[in-house]
Chains A and B, each alone.
Chain A
Amino acid sequence: MSSEKRSLFARATIAIPFLWLAVFFLLPFLIVFKISLSDDAVAQPPYVPALSFSEGWAALREKLALLDAENYAFVLSDWLYVYSYMQSLLLAGIATAILVLVGYPVAYAIVRSPRGLRPVLLLLVILPFFTSFLIRVYAWIGILSREGLLNQSLLSLGLVSQPLEILSTNIAVVIGMVYSYFPFMVLPLYAVLERMDDSLLEAAADLGATPAQAFWRVTVPVSVPGIVAGALLCFIPAVGEFVIPDLLGGSDTQMIGRTVWNEFAVNRSWSVSSALAILILLVLLVPILIYQRMQLRELESR
């Protein structure tokens, strides 16, 4: 194969993911962005202006001039929406923090288990994916409700005298998110811990570190990329989570995914829900950029 052909082939290979992103991410994003700049109307589709390329350039320009950012101004000025964002970030943040605390020991234990056992343990972590996500979240209703499994167990063990009100609270939402995103935390942590050279711990011991000190001064810092990757993999989708707050949350759970859905389906305001969706993206851009920078640094250090 000539080098010219190969470079053409190489470029084509790179083009595939770009094309994919352009069609399935960039284009829908632009459509949503455009809708967020439009105004609601009783029409089909339910917003104006509806852009059309058939009416000529001048008409298109006229319609583009009608676009404005008033939906954004409206969303940002309404305390309810801002509260919704804050709550989403807070609940996703709490869930992510718990995930790190729970996922790290699990990943560590899998790495420290006998080599032959590791694939089995990893499979067990992924196994819940074999059942529908929706069914698993519904199952939590059965566990957390007033007469659910959890309360029955606690009552029969005499640990509580009254059933706990967990379902339809933010606690249930956090429990649901921790449960659902667990594999996304464990897998990147496992990957980074598994790759760690055991001689690093021996070197730490050799230089006077007890096993606990070696863990905090070597293992944990070396696994930071895994912690960050896992945290972002959980945090980013958790912020926009809709199903879990909708099924497990209460009336005071106003996470942004639910708010978007309310605007869209109940208020039939496509433009406001689009503006809300674009704003989530902007909020999430910060952690995504952090993640990218970490990955880049990771690549450099290899």
Chain B
Amino acid sequence: MASAPLKPQKPQSVRRKFAPWTDPVAQPLISFRNVVKRYGGVVAIDGVSLDIYEREFFALLGPSGCGKTTLMRMLAGFEEASEGKIMLAKNDLSGVPPYRRPVNMMFQSYALFPHMTVSDNIAFGLKQEGMPKAEITARVEEMLKLVNLRGLEKRKPHQLSGGQRQRVALARSLAKRPKVLLLDEPMAALDKKLREQTQFELMDLQQRIGTTFIIVTHDQEEAMTVADRIAVMDHGKLVQVATPAEIYEQPNSRYVAEFVGDVNIIEAEVTRAASGDIALKSDVLDAELRLAQRADVKAGDRVAVALRPEKIRIGKEPLSEVHANCAQGVVYDIAYLGDLSIYHVHLDNGFVLKAAKTNLSRQIEPPIDWDDRVNLSWTPDAGVLLKS
């Protein structure tokens, strides 16, 4: 059950090039094969097939009730798949009880044993394994060091702060050196500042120990920060599995585009389709829409175009010589976020486009104010054509 010992390593860049999923010969560590989970008549997981690789930091992202937690609990062994197989290191996990799986889980509630000290909590799984006492002591010490909790080993969980409890839970779930660590909304109970800090610590830790991490979260920023790859889920299905950048810049569906980040969705009809140059007539824009994208569409298809606010240029100056990918309107709302401002622009026909602008200067008076008439424009590669 034990894997390679933890070696202290030189800090390295957190997201170095790592993409085993693009390697055709790489063997997945975890493999979901057509997994279905039904509760009575309700389908919670609807035919999921997914490969997760060794050393990967993988995120399951979706709104509550999308099945992400069920998928994780099936891997931990708390739920059995109704159909399909879950493989771990080429072994079929079906019928293997949770206490015999080389997988450990960090619970959303932390689930620390209230009657045990920090040390005893961390040592629980090791004692269960029958590890010799001296080794347990050494391993507990190592874990305390790993999560920066030395000096608190004699405390009981109720004597710790939320952040400290979270660390104990992490140390306890890592103590057995599992092949896979499952993290169920691990930062949901932390405040924003601590959460951000913990996200980076978690990434750093994962890099150092090289364990495969699978995190369940409903927070898209968290998923994008920590994960190598993200699986966006909806109604028990995987909608898209890709790197954070791919998810954000090349969403494969309206659902993903809207769930991850802020987006303008513009309904349109294809008027001309050449490879790498698609022209569309939208219902809400006067100007033509042009996309530099390869997509399998033909004239007359109804599609949607996703346009991220930060990809839209906003300004008061009149546009010169632009006939496509532009719009005009009046600013009716400004969300000032400090680093950038989001402008809600009412087009003349009532449609609202959101545009973001980085606040480059320190001036207090906004360069673009409420009720200003503004011009919006974007490049042909800014939008993404979505067929569903």
Footprint of B on A, CB under 8 Å? 197, 199-200, 202-210, 213, 217-218, 221-222, 224, 300-302
Interface pair B111/A202, CB less than 8 Å apart = yes
- Partner among B76, B99, B111 whose Cβ is within 8 Å of the Cβ of A208: B99
Name 10 interchain pairs, CB-CB below 8 A, sorted by A.
A199-B109, A203-B105, A203-B113, A203-B172, A205-B98, A207-B128, A207-B176, A209-B124, A217-B124, A222-B114
B106-139 residues with Cβ-Cβ distance < 8 A to A are 107-109, 111-116, 124-125, 128-129
Query: What CA separation (Å) do A268 and B191 show in the bound complex?
Result: 71
CB distance from A143 to the nearest CB of B (A): 40
Is residue B366 contacting chain A, with contact meaning CB distance below 8 A? no
Interface pair B158/A207, CB less than 8 Å apart = no
Interface pair A208/B115, CB less than 8 Å apart = no
Is residue B156 contacting chain A, with contact meaning CB distance below 8 A? yes
Interface pair B99/A209, CB less than 8 Å apart = yes
Query: What CA separation (Å) do A170 and B115 show in the bound complex?
Result: 38
Is residue B65 contacting chain A, with contact meaning CB distance below 8 A? no
Interface pair A208/B129, CB less than 8 Å apart = yes
Residues of the B chain whose Cβ atoms lie less than 8 Å from the Cβ of A222: 113-115
CB distance from A200 to the nearest CB of B (A): 5
Interface pair B104/A207, CB less than 8 Å apart = yes
Footprint of A on B, CB under 8 Å? 76-78, 97-100, 103-105, 107-109, 111-116, 124-125, 128-129, 156, 158, 172-173, 176
Query: What CA separation (Å) do A213 and B77 show in the bound complex?
Result: 17
Residues of the B chain whose Cβ atoms lie less than 8 Å from the Cβ of A205: 77-78, 97-99
Interface pair A202/B107, CB less than 8 Å apart = yes
- Partner among B108, B114, B124, B156 whose Cβ is within 8 Å of the Cβ of A207: B124
Interface pair B111/A203, CB less than 8 Å apart = yes
Query: What CA separation (Å) do A202 and B172 show in the bound complex?
Result: 13
Query: What CA separation (Å) do A221 and B156 show in the bound complex?
Result: 14
Residues of the B chain whose Cβ atoms lie less than 8 Å from the Cβ of A217: 124
CB distance from A212 to the nearest CB of B (A): 11
Residues of the B chain whose Cβ atoms lie less than 8 Å from the Cβ of A301: 114, 156, 158
Q: Which of A200, A206, A218 has the most CB of B within 10 A?
A: A206
Interface pair A221/B115, CB less than 8 Å apart = yes
Select from chain B the residue with minimum beta-carbon distance to A201: B111
Query: What CA separation (Å) do A224 and B100 show in the bound complex?
Result: 28
- Top 9 closest pairs, chain A to chain B, by CB: A207-B125, A208-B128, A203-B111, A199-B111, A205-B98, A301-B158, A221-B115, A208-B99, A206-B105
Query: What CA separation (Å) do A302 and B109 show in the bound complex?
Result: 15
Query: What CA separation (Å) do A213 and B172 show in the bound complex?
Result: 18
Interface pair A203/B107, CB less than 8 Å apart = yes
Query: What CA separation (Å) do A199 and B113 show in the bound complex?
Result: 10
Residues of the A chain whose Cβ atoms lie less than 8 Å from the Cβ of B109: 197, 199
CB distance from A98 to the nearest CB of B (A): 25
Query: What CA separation (Å) do A222 and B109 show in the bound complex?
Result: 16
Select from chain B the residue with minimum beta-carbon distance to A300: B158
Query: What CA separation (Å) do A197 and B157 show in the bound complex?
Result: 14
Residues of the B chain whose Cβ atoms lie less than 8 Å from the Cβ of A200: 111, 113-114
CB distance from B189 to the nearest CB of A (A): 13
Select from chain A the residue with minimum beta-carbon distance to B116: A221
Residues of the B chain whose Cβ atoms lie less than 8 Å from the Cβ of A208: 99-100, 125, 128-129, 176
- Partner among B100, B111, B124 whose Cβ is within 8 Å of the Cβ of A197: B111
Query: What CA separation (Å) do A35 and B383 show in the bound complex?
Result: 96
CB distance from A210 to the nearest CB of B (A): 6
Residues of the B chain whose Cβ atoms lie less than 8 Å from the Cβ of A300: 158
Residues of the A chain whose Cβ atoms lie less than 8 Å from the Cβ of B104: 206-207
Query: What CA separation (Å) do A209 and B130 show in the bound complex?
Result: 11
Residues of the A chain whose Cβ atoms lie less than 8 Å from the Cβ of B156: 301
CB within 8 Å for A206 and B99 given contacts A213-B128, A301-B158? yes
Residues of the A chain whose Cβ atoms lie less than 8 Å from the Cβ of B113: 200, 203-204, 218, 221-222
